Structure 1
Amino acid sequence: MEKPVAKPKSNLSSYYPSKTIIIAIAISIIIILAIIIPIVIVFGKPYQLQGTSSVTDSYSPSQTTSNPTTATTTVPSSSSQTSYKPILSIPDELWGYYEVRPGAHMFWWFYGYRGSQLRSQMPLILWMSGGPGYSSVGKGNFGQVGPIQLDLKPRNKTLIKRANVLFIDYPVGTGFSYVDKMSAYSRSDNEVAQDLYRTFAHVLHLLPSLQLLPFHLVAESYGGKIGSMFGNLLLQAKKEGRIQCNFISCILSSPLLSTADTIEFAGPYLNAFSLIDAMQSQQLLNQANSIKQYLQQKRGIDATAVLEQSLERMVNISSKANLHNVINYLSENPFTTLVKRNYTDIQSLQNNPTIAPTAAYAVMNNQIRHKLGIVPRHVKFASSNILVYALLRESICYPSIANAEAILNANVSVLIINGQFDAFVNGISLQKTIKKINWPYMKLFQSSKKAVMKDDAGRIVGFIKKYRNLSFMTMIDKGHSPILSVPDSYIGSVNLHATITSNKSVSVFIDTQIHASVARIIL
């Protein structure tokens, strides 16, 4: 029998590295983690989007070349992930197209902050105009808060002196956004919000440095409705890990969250101004009830038709008061055209889809178009697109209260601004709409005291009510666009720039054309 062989005793020191080697390995691991972790944080998880991206770097207005540097990336239809090269630094200016769906091309324009601070330390703002069908690039950028005015002169009080700003022409077919075929137009508000989200996510993936910046959504009128839907989509995507975004606040200026509420309380509002009598107020209430019934029956187009008739009636019975500012009057009723238009004749609308550009917007089809260098020849910029509006009439009247509710309950700061003389989204209806939001602190918000807002000269310019992350602001003597620079024909027009300085405070800068003074309110 073979004897077992005795195994020699092991020398443990020969199996373990020395202390010097252990320390060296530990230091190496720490260095590797220090490099990898920031990259993971900045780039996050890949965006599950499809589309084609055409990106153009900005260049000096003095340059006249029509071929600026471009970088185009195509994502195969079988792929669910974009694969373009990110731009790590925040540029002065950048614009491009993104194909959100086959044949649907969304145009976006980004401006980097221009001031004494680092761009990486300043917030990101998405500025949304209303409509549906009004261009955020034309109205919001050149008409209101961008660095250049429609007369191509620099704007002194531009928002890019306070933040990085993004404008997106939505829905497709608006401004410089376009479609290759009729079927690519948006047919619902939900599709509009999804297209907007895809474009926004594309920009954040292209400029990953924006992902960590405090993000603030600013939207007016109908944009407030789409903005609340977009904000809800953004929160869902963030929760699912599909996007990296530091969503801090949502600022809604005269948001059209419920058309039925707007018409229901338009009567009492106009009656309080002695613009209509009690019988006329009841007629508007009857129309509001019709809108509600049609929505319950899922007859959105019929509801929108009643809305158009209601708006026309409001102007006629109030001796043509301007619904955007009731202390001004109109020579003609702008809603009569909406009521009389044949929306079933899509062919006619397709041949003449846009409202003729004003003289001011002619610059968009000339100097601005030439500067961009990527707008297809067949795309003509106009202030709004009737075809876009016509194809969305089915969904226009459906409320978006639940989306605003989701944003508020996600602990995102929500600021709702109303103009005292706005009959289109009147203050009575807006406060009733807010009460419908299911939020644990709504009763405490309703019972909280309002604070007086004063300018530097001590003049009262508005009132504000606030509790936790919900604020409601009423601007005195202002109309439908209290957050924007409105036309000179509006009395007491306001240019209000909202910039979030931290997670808990909002600095609102108000420049009134009447007093030429600035008020600063810390919420």
Structure 2
Amino acid sequence: MDRHWRPVTLLSVVILCCLSLLSAGLAASVVTAGAPDGSELWGYVEVRPKAHLFWWYYKSPSAQRVSTPSSPWPTVLWLQGGPGASGVGIGNFLEVGPLDVDLNPRNSTWLHKADLIFVDNPVGVGYSYAEDASALVTSDWEAAADATALLKALAEEVPALRDGSPLFLVAESYGGKYAVTLGVSAVRAIHAGELNLTLAGVALGDSFISPEDFALSYAPLLLDVSRLDDNAGDAAKGKAASVKEQIAAGQFAAAWSSWADLLGFIDSKSAGVDTYNFLLDTGMDPVSTTSSSSMAATTNAQTVKYSTYLSRKEATSGPNTIDGIMNGVIKEKLKIIPNNLTWHGMSELVYNALVNGIMKPRIDEVDELLSYGVNVTVYNGQLDVICSTIGAEAWVQKLKWDGLKNFTSLPRQPLYCGSSKVTQAFVRSYKNLHFYWILRAGHFVPADQPCIALSMISSITQSPAS
């Protein structure tokens, strides 16, 4: 049994800072709990009045955790997308955390290469909560301000960060927009002396950095892989052009509506291509389907897809569902989750609160990070549609970074994994910009290609050899 997991009935939880929660009202800004041996910590930070972010830290087992003065052991903070998806649930138990949804050890956990922090971000997602709807964020920058307040608390609460562990923000999907705004906010706070930690890098996995470029990519990609015909392709291109025009005019709510219409049109004309993997139809995951009943009545089809895709992928012969464990055994283990809080994989309230900003690009923030010297990594699954590789390549070409010409002129290097001689990925790097093309992976790279994803995170964090 994995050393990071102890049965709930036997777990001795140490409350480091105890205070009443949602039902009685929060009187202080931080509550932290954890395992007695320090292998796990978790807690709440009240980042604003009535706004509470939940985080969960895992320390790598000593067998993997090798640190030297010149190469300290890194920490990865995972940011889920959606917007409105739970990193504490999805990224943790369905992608890179120490245990899978059946609470069995995950061989490909990123704990082999870094300590891990999962956050339910922004407020209102997963175990995080707002005491009323007025406390929900309405923009990426508001989310970044909250997450920066969280980082200030974590810099004190997590011993590894206090001791100088380099921090890497690793994001997926819409989480990329959170990551770049948080990255810029964090660097500014560090330079101002308001935040005491080392931001070593930002990694953007299939990230929605430029909605325009992704919308424009759908028709060419799906034509090339025979999921649209010429007639549907021309119509889809016209719809994508409308999205581009509305974004240029600053009509972001209208652009979101047009983008949603484009996705619906593609669904109807492609016989239901799965926008997270163009080799599949929606609902035709290789393993059995386990839908999230909590989201079954949502009016947004895309949030349904996001909340169920990985649950379908992870479902095996085991008995557990992500909703079941997060509202059952995990909630019992953590002990500090308010009794009247129900965990959902996706928050429709959070999605709707952010809807006016979903289509805003964040290319300028990537440029700012590069200008600060922060390492920026872009990685993309070959089979993704919603955040396609050709869309990611297009927005990278729009960077104003002075190293871009040299970056694009370099050849890609093939990557392999383990004893396999089959090419798993390509990478191109110049100075502090890196791009990984992950083959045979869709939107959720660590779930589709766990071996190469683990190798990639080792390179990104420059983890000392164990």
Please give the range of the TM-score, normalised by the shorter of the 2 chains: 0.7 to 0.9
1:291 partner letter? V
Larger radius of gyration: 1
- Give yes or no for the alignment of 1:382 onto 2:344: yes
| CA pair 159-365 structure 1, distance change in 2 beyond 3 A | same
Q: Hey, what does 1:461 align to over in structure 2?
A: 424
Match of 1:159 in 2: 110
Alignment-mate amino acid for residue 393 of structure 1: V
1:395 CA displacement: 0.4
CA RMSD of aligned residues (A): 3.4
Secondary structure (helix, strand or coil) at the match of 2:244 reads helix
Q: 2:332 aligns with which of 347, 370, 373?
A: 370
Does residue 416 in structure 1 map to residue 373 in structure 2? Answer: no
Counterpart-to-counterpart distance in 2, 1:203 and 1:381: 23
* Cα distance in 2, alignment partners of residues 64 and 506 from structure 1: 33
Distance, in Å, in 2 between the alignment partners of 1:231 and 1:364 is 29
Residue 341 (str. 1) matches residue 299 (str. 2): yes
Does structure 2 conserve the Cα–Cα contact (< 8 Å) formed by 1:112 and 1:119?
Answer: no
What is the CA-CA distance between 1:68 and the residue it aligns to?
A: 4.5
Cα deviations by residue, 1:377-434 (Å, 9 ceiling, x for unpaired): 2110111111111111000000011111111221122211111111111121111100
Pick closer, same or farther for the CA change 1:495–1:102 going to 2, 3 Å.
farther
Of 50, 65, 73, the residue aligned with 1:103 is: 50
- 5+ residue gaps, structure 1: 1-57, 75-80, 344-353, 487-491, 510-523
Identity %: 28
**TM-aligned CA deviation for residue 248 of structure 1:** 1.5
Tell me the equivalent position of 1:517: none
- Find out whether 1:474 has 2:432 as its counterpart: no
- Partners in 2 of 1:438 and 1:226 — Cα distance? 21
Match of 2:17 among 52, 62, 71: 71
Partner residue of 1:496 out of 449, 453, 460:
453
DSSP 3-state at the match of 2:116: strand
Q: Which residue of 2 aligns with 1:61?
A: 7
CA shift, 1:93, in A, is: 0.8
Listed one character per residue, the Cα deviations across residues 224-244 of structure 1 (whole Å, up to 9, x for unaligned) are 111111111111111111112
Secondary structure of 2:125's aligned partner: coil
Other structure's SS at 2:168 match: strand
SS where residue 465 of structure 1 aligns? strand
Task: Report if aligned partners of 1:90, 1:210 keep a CA contact under 8 Å in 2.
Answer: no
Deviation at 1:281, TM superposition (A): 2.6
Equivalent position of 1:176 in the other structure: 127
Contact 1:115 1:162 in 2 (8 A): no
> Higher RCO, 1 or 2 (CA under 8 Å, sep at least 6)?
2
- Superposed CA deviations along residues 70-127 of structure 1, whole A, max 9, x for unmatched, are 41489xxxxxx9899999x993111111111111111111111213345784111101
Cα distance in 2 between the residues matched to 1:474 and 1:507: 24
- Which of 295, 314, 335 in structure 1 is aligned with 2:266? 314
- Contact 2:16–2:32, Cα closer than 8 Å, also in 1: no
Whether contact under 8 Å (2:378, 2:436) holds in the other structure is: yes
Matched ranges for 1:214-363 at <5 A: 214-331=166-283, 341=299, 359-363=321-325
Note if contact 1:86-1:208 (Cα within 8 Å) is conserved in structure 2. Answer: no
Q: Distance in 1 between matches of 2:335 and 2:32?
A: 21
SS at match of 2:447: coil
Q: Report if the CA contact (8 A) 2:427-2:434 is conserved.
A: yes
CA 301–507 in structure 1, closer or farther in 2 if over 3 Å, else same: farther
Aligned-partner residue type, residue 61 of structure 1: P
8 Å CA contact retained: 2:113, 2:458: no
Q: Does the 8 Å CA contact 2:169/2:202 hold for their aligned counterparts? A: yes
CA contact (8 A) 1:320 1:330 kept: yes
Cα distance, 1:135–1:502 mapped onto 2, change above 3 Å:
closer
Determine if contact 1:86/1:206 at 8 Å carries over to the other structure.
no
Number of equivalenced pairs = 425
User: What secondary structure is seen at the aligned counterpart in 2 of 1:236?
Assistant: helix
CA shift at 1:201, angstroms? Answer: 1.8
Distance 1:310 1:506, change over 3 A: farther
